[in-house]
């Protein structure tokens, strides 16, 4: 999912496929290695021994996932040096957010986020959007090169299908027993199918011929997996999973049809891949659904006693705070790394191998 799924999902830009896959590969590797170091420091601060295990490995993958989500908001607009800088700082803010929620705020309760709707998806999306707000310029708007062609859309579907197939296992990685993993797999699989159906049902509404839009098919079909992350291990039944997936797919599609242009126009935030539509809004939705289903299931005795609505909403609020503040700070640093004159010489949404060298 990290290397093929995210990597090929971002190959839709017609002149930026090499950089999409290559930078994805680089960022994922840097994030995994840097997470080891930051995690080690966090353990030392807590006075705990640091041991590398299976848990450490999937935590590295989760952190890399958050960075790659942020990468989607900046795709085609920054160079590899700026992206590596983003990864280094984002992992620090990511771990601070995780540590704050796990150890400093919810000491007497717990928050449910087994698949990372909040900690991974919402964090990565709003970190990237905040950084993009700092870096967005008029050069990024109405670019002819910010477009796909037949071939690149086909390659992007490789990433979509990989992510769609493996999302149940992604949400289920932290589960500690087979029964819980089964519940997570069923809920996530069902929500993904519902999101896929909802996306195909709605995608033609903004086209006068009623044609499918590949941008929606590549992205909104995955929104069910994002929204299911916080409540994937809840006993909500097939009906509950269908509701989550259907609404997530619908809202994500509407995001691409209506919201993305409004965000650029009124907030001056350029979002290349539409991470707000796939990860941001469905991530928040996942947190809200976890509150709803958590309360309903707790009444029937199916939730731990320490499950708390305050913990869910508190985690969401703290996560958004760390993401936005961290993204703004990191965006400012990324802006300083490359002088404005040098940045203006470069073509947007085009591989560096295609840049015209000055005589």
Summarize the confidence of residues 88-111 as an average pLDDT: 85
User: How much is the pLDDT for 358?
Assistant: 46
The better pLDDT of the pair 248, 47 is held by 248
What is the arithmetic mean of pLDDT over 120-149? 92
Distance CA 165, CA 294 (A): 26
Flag whether 357 is in a domain. no
Q: Is residue 150 part of a domain?
A: yes
Is residue 141 situated within a structural domain?
yes
- Structural domain harbouring 293: 5-352
Residue 157 inside a domain? The answer is: yes
Domain containing residue 189: CATH number: 1.10.3430.10
Helix axes 309-337, 281-299, angle to 10 degrees: 160
Q: Is residue 238 part of a domain?
A: yes
The position carrying tokens 């049809």 is 257
For the chain, the average pLDDT equals 92
Quick: pLDDT tens for 210-246. Answer: 899 999 999 999 999 999 999 999 999 999 999 999 9
pLDDT tens track for 4-22: 999 999 999 999 999 999 9
Angle at 143 between CA 159 and CA 11, to 5 degrees: 15
Number of domains in the chain: 1
What is the band of 359 on the pLDDT scale with cuts at 50, 70, 90?
very low
Burial 257-281 (b: 16+ CB within 10 A, else e): bebbeebbeeeebbbbbbbbbbbbb
Is the confidence at residue 274, as pLDDT, over 70? yes
Q: Is residue 358 part of a domain?
A: no
Q: Is residue 359 part of a domain?
A: no
- The answer to whether residue 71 sits within a structural domain is yes
Taking residues 108-118, report their average pLDDT. Answer: 86
* Measured distance CA(294)–CA(176) in Å, rounded: 20
Span 46-75, average pLDDT? 94
- Quick one: what percent of the chain has pLDDT higher than 70? 93
pLDDT confidence of residue 129: 98
Q: Where are the alpha helices (DSSP H) in 176-308?
A: 178-202, 214-219, 223-227, 237-254, 260-267, 275, 281-299
């Amino acid at each position: 999912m990290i290397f093929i799924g995210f990597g090929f999902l971002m190959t839709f830009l017609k002149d930026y496929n090499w950089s999409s896959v290559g930078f994805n590969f680089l960022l994922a590797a840097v994030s995994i290695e840097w997470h080891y170091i930051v995690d080690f420091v966090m353990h030392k601060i807590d006075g705990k021994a640091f041991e590398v295990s299976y848990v450490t490995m999937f935590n590295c993958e989760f952190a890399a996932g958050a960075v790659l989500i942020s990468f989607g908001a900046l795709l085609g607009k920054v160079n590899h040096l700026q992206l590596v800088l983003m990864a280094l700082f984002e992992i620090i803010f990511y771990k601070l957010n995780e540590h704050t929620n796990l150890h400093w705020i919810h000491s007497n309760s717990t928050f449910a986020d087994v698949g990372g709707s909040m900690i991974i998806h919402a964090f990565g999306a709003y970190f990237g959007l905040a950084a993009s707000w700092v870096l967005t310029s008029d050069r990024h708007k109405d670019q002819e090169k910010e477009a796909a062609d037949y071939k690149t859309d086909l390659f992007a579907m490789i990433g979509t299908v990989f992510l769609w197939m493996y999302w149940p296992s992604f949400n289920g990685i932290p589960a500690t027993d087979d029964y819980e993993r089964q519940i997570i797999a069923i809920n996530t699989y069902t929500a993904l199918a519902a999101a896929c159906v909802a996306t195909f049902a709605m995608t033609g509404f903004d086209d006068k011929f009623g044609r499918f839009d590949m941008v929606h098919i590549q992205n909104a079909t995955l929104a069910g997996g994002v929204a299911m992350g916080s409540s994937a291990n809840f006993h909500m039944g097939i009906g509950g999973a269908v509701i989550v997936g259907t609404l997530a797919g619908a809202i994500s599609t509407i995001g691409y049809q209506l919201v993305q242009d409004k965000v650029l126009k009124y907030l001056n935030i350029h979002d290349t891949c539409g991470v707000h539509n796939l990860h941001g809004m469905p991530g928040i939705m996942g947190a809200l659904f976890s509150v709803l289903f958590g309360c309903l299931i707790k009444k029937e005795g199916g939730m731990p006693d320490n499950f708390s609505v305050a913990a869910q909403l508190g985690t969401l609020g703290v996560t958004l705070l760390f993401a936005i503040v961290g993204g703004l700070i990191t965006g400012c640093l990324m802006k300083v790394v490359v002088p404005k004159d040098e940045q203006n010489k470069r073509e947007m949404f085009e591989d560096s191998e295609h840049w015209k060298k000055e005589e």
